[in-house]
């Protein structure tokens, strides 16, 4: 486990590293068991597709289930967790974990280490992360793929709210093209791989310096 809370610089990933996918999701063990099962499957699917998982470092809820699924399937996993959350989110110590000083540092490192994003069911923390990510996309600070897992229409209220802001002229219509949706867990990885293939894995994050 690497501790960056002292301000130590992060070690860069090798240039030839596999594509990395960041997962945003809930960290509560009280989530619907079907969500937890799907998260485990999605993590395993990433591993079998050769995708590295980047996640929030916790061993609980959908977060922990995704990491365990990827690890069990032999995949590479990177967890990033703030020091103050180690007791609450119980890091999954079987995988590489970096300890940082703040939520801001965690989110920035997750963004920088990832080529694409998958959003599973989650609560207020997940909402914060995805709204920030969409806001950065709206500002053309990145063009990384974003795929929602939407079992039973879980994210439909969010999509309706975003559509409402578009209809009211407060958000450009182009924002609606910034994400894709899959209802079934088995469709998440194929959807993501197809999008990466379309773009050639292009990372248009040349303006990432503007985020700091």
Q: Render pLDDT for 16-74 as a digit per residue (tens, 0 to 9).
A: 346 999 999 999 999 999 999 999 999 999 999 999 999 999 889 999 999 999 999 99
Phi-psi group of 169: left, alpha or beta (phi > 0 → left; psi -120 to 50 → alpha; rest → beta): left
The whole-number pLDDT of residue 8 equals 38
> 203: alpha, beta or left, given left = phi > 0 and alpha = psi -120 to 50?
beta
State phi, psi for 44 to the nearest 5 degrees. -65, -40
Structural contact between residues 57 and 93, judged by C-beta atoms closer than 8 angstroms: no
Return mean pLDDT, the chain: 88
- Find the helix packing angle between 124-138 and 156-167, rounded to 10°: 40
Q: Single out the residue of 72, 106, 110, 109 nearest to residue 92, CA to CA.
A: 72
């Amino acid at each position: 486990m690497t501790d960056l809370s002292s301000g130590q610089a992060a070690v860069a990933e090798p240039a030839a590293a596999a594509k990395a996918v960041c997962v945003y999701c809930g960290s509560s063990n009280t989530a619907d068991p079907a969500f937890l099962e799907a998260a485990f499957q999605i993590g395993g699917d990433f591993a079998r597709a050769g995708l590295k998982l980047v996640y929030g470092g916790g061993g609980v809820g959908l977060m922990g289930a995704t990491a365990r699924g990827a690890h069990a399937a032999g995949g590479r996993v990177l967890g990033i967790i703030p020091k103050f959350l180690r007791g609450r989110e119980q890091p999954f110590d079987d995988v590489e974990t970096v300890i940082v000083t703040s939520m801001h540092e965690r989110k920035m490192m997750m963004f920088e280490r990832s080529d694409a994003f998958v959003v599973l069911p989650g609560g207020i923390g997940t909402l914060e992360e995805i709204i920030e990510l969409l806001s950065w996309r709206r500002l053309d600070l990145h063009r990384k793929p974003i795929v929602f897992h939407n079992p039973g229409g879980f994210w439909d209220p969010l999509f309706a709210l975003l559509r409402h802001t578009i209809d009211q002229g407060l958000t450009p219509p182009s924002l609606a093209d910034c994400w894709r949706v899959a209802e079934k867990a088995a469709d998440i990885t194929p959807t993501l791989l197809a999008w990466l293939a379309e773009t050639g894995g292009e990372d248009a994050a040349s303006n990432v310096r503007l985020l700091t």
